[in-house]
Amino acid sequence: MRTQVAIIGGGPAGLLLSHLLHRRGIASVVLESRDRAYVERRQRAGMLEQGTTDVLRESGAGERLDREGLVHHGLELRFGGAGHRIPLTELTGRTVTVYAQTEIVKDLVARRLEDGGDVRFEARAVEIDPAAATVTYRQGGRTRTLEADYVAGTDGFHGVSRPAVPGVRTFSREYPFAWLGVLADVPPSTDELIYAHHDRGFALHSLRSPKVSRLYLQVAPDEDLAAWPDARIWDELAARFATGGGWELRQGPITDRSITPMRSFVAEPLRHDRLFLAGDAAHIVPPTGAKGLNLAVSDVTVLARAFAERYASGSETLLDGYSETCLRRVWRAEHFSYWMTTLLHADPHADDFARRLQRSHLDYVASSRAAATSLAENYVGLPLP
């Protein structure tokens, strides 16, 4: 079997890359180790930068996004029992949109299959030859080989793509806390996201739809999920979101819960021979800045453009510059995510001096238009490369 671009991983990065290549007349095969049902229900963040929504719309994959996405013009920082709104659109002229990653995947799977795309579920890649651009994979009890001109590794942090890059250099940081995230069948208690700093720990109130809320609590990295019954979760959320103005947190049935570790990670370079890394295979950010999915979209947008130049003119100039181009944006997003994380979380190892500095910085961001603009500019997303 042969194709032009072999794509390992059928998450949003791999599916979007395949879709963008199809629109440029470039053939691809997507190999996804899980079945379709698993891929379409895998819960992930869903805060989209304007650049991400623009890419989805321009590619023809944004119809349901435009119909169901929740556009936000601001966010709230809450600390010291008071809320402080950051007017994102007023400060930057741009917006962000809440649209679940599960829905993006469903939209992209549907588009690829409608267009006759080759998406192979339950096809687990086991070996990559970056020089020959071949992928050996297992499907239906058989071992097969897919030959290609190039291979795109979009198979996540634990995939086989990054280990296939010899001499890859990695940079990482582990954080002394994690997120307990829940989905609840209850209308959101807010129209815009609330990022709350509290002595008991960070909390985030997000939205999934007008009827579904997504909420997060800072917990210890080794926290036992069984120690958090519904009543304890709601009590802790209410305590961390409490204000002096009588704001109330709506409560309802919790339908899903999980604990997410917090880490920062970058691999360099993002290319070896004819293998290219993108998305979580190349970098991880703590979710505080909502950058993971958006970085993946940025990566594959750059990569699709580079492949288009290669097949249209024979030039590999953009392919040669892929790693450097993407890493500039990756490191900016890494820094912003690190900054948001350390600004808002309660560090269990911090002394009183560090806590006072943190509170002073929060006051500065909430009171300075320049500081708020810097936050807003990074949050809505810098222009795509």
Question: What are the distances in angstroms from CA 16 to CA 127, 195, 241, 293, 337?
Answer: 23, 30, 37, 11, 24
Q: How many CB atoms lie within 10 A of CB 33?
A: 23
Report pLDDT digits (tens) over 139-159: 999 999 999 999 999 999 999
Report pLDDT digits (tens) over 20-32: 999 999 999 999 9
Average pLDDT over residues 98-125: 95
Asked if the model's pLDDT at residue 385 lies above 90, the reply is no
Element (H, E) at 203: strand 203-209
| Non-local CB neighbours of 222 within 8 Å, separated by 6+ positions | none
Would you place residue 45 in the very low, low, confident or very high pLDDT band (cuts 50, 70, 90)? low
Which residue among 72, 205, 272, 283 is the active-site one?
72
Report pLDDT digits (tens) over 156-165: 999 999 999 9
Rounded Cα distance between 44 and 317, Å, is: 34
Average pLDDT over all residues of the chain: 96
Residue 187 annotated to the active site: no
pLDDT in the model for residue 164: 96
Cβ–Cβ under 8 Å, residues 364 and 371? yes
Asked if the model's pLDDT at residue 247 lies above 90, the reply is no
pLDDT above 90 covers what percent of the chain?
95
Residue 195 annotated to the active site: yes
Which residue among 137, 195, 216, 322 is the active-site one?
195
Residue 106 annotated to the active site: no
| Non-local CB neighbours of 84 within 8 Å, separated by 6+ positions | 76, 77, 78, 365, 366
pLDDT in the model for residue 235: 97
Say which CATH superfamily domain 2-49+61-69+98-172+263-348 falls into. Answer: FAD/NAD(P)-binding domain (3.50.50.60)
Asked if the model's pLDDT at residue 275 lies above 70, the reply is yes
Residue 229 annotated to the active site: no
Which of these, 158, 143, 148, lies nearest to 30 by C-alpha position?
Answer: 148
pLDDT in the model for residue 119: 97
Helix, strand, coil content of the chain in percent (nearest 5)? 40, 30, 30
pLDDT in the model for residue 205: 97
